[in-house]
A = this chain, B = another copy of it.
Amino acid sequence: MSQSLFPDDRHLGLLTDLYELTMAAGYYVHGLAEQRVTFELFMRRVPACRNLLIAGGLEQAVHYLRQLSFSREQIDYLRRHPAFAKIPGDWFDRLASLRFDGDVWAVPEGTVVFGNEPLLRITGPLMIGQIVETYLIATLTMQTLVASKAARVVTAAQGRPVIDFGSRRAHGPQAGLLAARAAYLAGCAGTSNVEAGRLLNIPTLGTQAHAWIMAWGDEVQAFRHFGELFPNVATLLIDTYDTPQGARNAIAAGVDFQAVRLDSGDLGALSTEVRRILDDAGKQDVKIVASGDLNETKIRDLLKAGAPIDTFGVGTELVTSRDEPTLSTVYKLVEQETDAGVVGRCKLSKDKTTYPFAKQIYRSSDATGYISGDLVARATDNAAGEPLLTPVLRGGQLVQPLPSLEAIRTHCQAQLQRLPPRLLQLERGEPYPVRFSDELEAAVRK
């Protein structure tokens, strides 16, 4: 039987690595399953080709935690799995009733974050805290990755709209939806993904494909038919045969159209020539949309050279974060509540040291309002600065409704305005200072 490989939203329990479940069974057998612990999720570093990260994906992570359960079929699969041959039957029964009932603190989506800063902190029973690792990492990584890339592309476009055209090159159909959401929250003006528009209320935009032009054979006729049907939204694709001639054919079609799109060739030279053709025909109000393997540096260079492009369609580079398609996200046990009290936990592997204890990020600003440095300290401290992690779930229940995508987008724009200019450059600038408290530094030096 063929399958789409969309997970079953009602039973997300097995969307995890096998070792999470063997460890979960081990904790259970040894009476540790319900021990209260804290895990933190963070990116080890900002990639070398970025100056910052934009937190994304929390809504989907919270949805997962509230939704998490195991179906009978999933539990039967585990019962038959050779790894669990020695695990007593009551563990499988426990899985059937398992729900996430812990506490979650997180950095709000759209917030600027840096390496080693916890984006999400879970306090709850050890067993379930372990099981959720894989899904939480995947979910927060994907949208943080694309939001961080999108913020660069939007910044490079200097106020001109950037549209996500990337669904076809995202890593599968769900990735297209996730990318559309992440791109929009970080400032893109819309997406071509219609289902993302319906589910998330993101503006959806589009032009036409070369197939439309080719289906008619004649370019003028193709443009005329399109303009007649879509007079308010018509963007005519003029590069199928010859771009300047395409612009002249768009005018010759004698219909209303809002924009023309260039999808190939030297976009700088062609946009200049097309602008002149349009202006000479009195079409000063017709916009020029450019697309075709664009990214933030190409957009910056086009605008620096004076290319009269009004809107950018960005696909592959945006939704795959092509120059760095991953983040160094990890999820670490940092604290345990034992009979002897709270114990910090940390890993001391070479180059992979982690700081113990539940933490908070305290962000400072300078006199101009720019953010100037972060202190990561124990959550029980009360350091100076704006605390970034806020309570999201308490006992598995929402502390307050999650913000809307529009509110997240507004928050992200405000965040970008508080960045010192060096962090908004496309090149790597002087790193933003993130300091760990003396107590935390002392704890890992021990």
Contact = CB atoms under 8 A, between A and B. Distances in A.
Contacts of A77: 194, 197-198
A195 interface: yes
Given A7-B6, A206-B83, A208-B22, A167 B233 contact: no
A37 B209 CA distance: 15
Contacts of A208: 19, 22-23
A199 B3 contact: yes
A308 B411 CA distance: 52
Nearest to A27: B215
A11 to B, nearest CB: 9
A350 B17 CA distance: 46
A320 B325 contact: yes
Interface in A207-250: 207-212, 214-215, 217, 225-226, 229-233, 239-242
Contacts of A205: 18
A82 B6 CA distance: 30
Contacts of A2: 59-60, 62-63, 66, 402
Contacts of A6: 6-7, 9, 174
A162 to B, nearest CB: 16
A167 B331 CA distance: 14
Interface string A170-209: 1111111111010000000000111101110000111111
Interface stretch (A134-142, A279-287, A416-424): A134-142
Contact of A23 (B82, B134, B212, B352): B212
B7 A173 contact: yes
Nearest to A168: B137
B211 A39 contact: yes
Chain multiplicity (copies): 2
B264 A176 contact: no
Contact of A174 (B17, B21, B26, B174): B174
**Interface footprint category on A:** 35 or more
A48 to B, nearest CB: 13
Contacts of A78: 194
A265 interface: yes
Task: Tell which of A3, A27, A226 has the most Cβ of chain B within 10 Å.
Answer: A3
A163 to B, nearest CB: 10
Interface string A313-353: 00010001110011101001100100000010111111110
A74 interface: yes
A9 B4 contact: yes
A3 B193 CA distance: 17
Contact of A14 (B74, B194, B326): B194
Interface of A: 2-7, 9, 12, 14-23, 25-27, 29-30, 32, 35, 37, 39, 59-60, 62-64, 66-67, 73-74, 77-78, 81-83, 85-87, 126, 130, 133-135, 137-139, 141-142, 145, 165, 167-179, 181, 192-195, 197-199, 204-212, 214-215, 217, 225-226, 229-233, 239-242, 263-265, 316, 320-322, 325-327, 329, 332-333, 336, 343, 345-352, 402
Given A22-B229, A23-B212, 13 more contacts: A2-B402, A3-B59, A6-B6, A18-B204, A19-B208, A26-B230, A81-B197, A86-B230, A135-B173, A141-B169, A168-B329, A215-B333, A265-B349
18 contacts: A2-B59, A4-B7, A5-B174, A6-B174, A14-B194, A15-B193, A19-B207, A35-B215, A37-B215, A77-B194, A130-B211, A134-B168, A169-B326, A172-B174, A175-B175, A214-B346, A264-B352, A265-B349
